[in-house]
Amino acid sequence: MEYLLIQMLNGVQLGLLMFLLAAGLTLTFGIMDLVNLAHGSLYMIGAYLAWTFITWTDSFLLGALLALPATFIVGVILEVVVVRRLYGRDHLDQVLATFGLILFFNDLVRMVWGPAGKSIAVPAFLSHTVQILPGVSYPAYRFALIVVGLLVALLLAWLVARTRLGMLIRAGASNRRMIAALGVNIELLFSLVFGLGAVFAGLAGLMTAPISSVKIGMGDDILILAFVIIVIGGIGSIKGAFVAAMVVGQIDIFGRAFLPELLKSFLSPASASAAAPAISQVLIYVLMAGVLVWRPTGLFGQRP
């Protein structure tokens, strides 16, 4: 029972991380109609920048606080130099160009930070465990991830639903040309939204660093999961991304934590532990296929 609870919390934590990544992706898609494969690169760059700043300042919080605006700047520069030229282009052009950006960023990071992975230690003030229920303890860092993830999700929901920027974002998602015609500085809005997406990706990257590692290509595999999430949730829908991220997080953890035991009853232990992660990944894709057959534009997507 305790094990179940802890694994469910792990699923929530993973889901929140993926939501951060998927939120930026679904925003840029919903508003700018942009397929951005390089979103995972911003996740990686956020983590590497955090490593540099944390090593430099010798403080996790300070380093993280410096890394976020730095990732924002990288995102805005990327938008102004390359991405801006891709709006309104064919999706194929966008796929090709942002694929090129992934190759560029992977080798750039390898050149700047070297081929070996980096690790960020769990900050000292979060290296203990917390009692979430009497007798059930949970690592404080993971608990902090859940809290921060939920706070950011709430912040994003508030930003989109209650602020002027959010109003422009929603208006941009439903009719770009109209808000441009109404005199909104749409170029600035797009740069801001792209930068915002970069910050969320960078935040996900730096928060995940202490529990996994900072390495080249770290964003590529999780990016595909983020794509799956926004496809399940419906492209452009923040709510959809949140729901889908939670579901995918639970499936992934379920596959890692419970499937090996389940499979061991009819497979050898070695093949059970090898097959379980594969099966949990497959389950996620089967879920996506099922959702798309049922609703071709995702759970909360706009109907054509």
Partner 1 sequence: MQPRNMIALLLLALLAVLPLLTQAFDQRYLLSVGTRIVIWSIAAVSLNMILGYGGLVSFGHAAFFGIGGYAVGILSAEGIQNGWLQWPVALAASMLWAALVGALSLRTRGVYFIMITLAFAQLVYYLASGLEGYGGDDGLNISRSRFAGLLDLRDKATFYWLCFALLCGTLWFCGRLANSRFGTVLRGARANELRMTALGFPVFRYRLVACVIAGAFGGLAGILIANEGAYVSPAMMSWVKSGDLIVIVVLGGIGALFGPLYGAIVFFALEETLKPFLDLLHKGWGEYWQIVFGPLLVLIALHARGGMASLLRRRDG
Site for partner 1, rule CB under 8 A: 29, 35, 37, 82, 85-86, 89, 91-97, 99-108, 110-111, 220, 224, 227-228, 230-231, 235, 270-271, 274-275, 277-279, 281-282, 285-286, 288-289, 292-293, 296-298, 304
Please state the closest distance from residue 158 (CB atom) to partner 1, in A.
27
Instruction: Give the tokens for residue 282.
Output: 């497959």
**Residue-level length of the chain:** 304
Backbone angle region of 146, left / alpha / beta, with phi > 0 → left and psi within -120 to 50 → alpha: alpha
CA 14/CA 291 separation, integer angstroms = 21
Please state the closest distance from residue 105 (CB atom) to partner 1, in A.
8
Q: Do 225 and 244 form a contact (C-beta atoms < 8 A)?
A: no
For partner 1, the closer CB: 127 or 271: 271
Residues whose CB falls within 8 Å of the CB of residue 134, separated by 6 or more in sequence, listed in order: none
Q: Do 172 and 14 form a contact (C-beta atoms < 8 A)?
A: no
Please state the closest distance from residue 289 (CB atom) to partner 1, in A.
5
For partner 1, the closer CB: 61 or 112: 112
Please state the closest distance from residue 43 (CB atom) to partner 1, in A.
16
Please state the closest distance from residue 71 (CB atom) to partner 1, in A.
19
For partner 1, the closer CB: 203 or 272: 272
CA 142/CA 129 separation, integer angstroms = 9
For partner 1, the closer CB: 239 or 295: 295
For partner 1, the closer CB: 144 or 267: 267
For partner 1, the closer CB: 155 or 282: 282
Please state the closest distance from residue 233 (CB atom) to partner 1, in A.
12
Q: For residue 284, how many C-alpha atoms fall within 13 Å in the half-sphere facing its CB?
A: 29
Please state the closest distance from residue 11 (CB atom) to partner 1, in A.
18
For partner 1, the closer CB: 79 or 139: 79
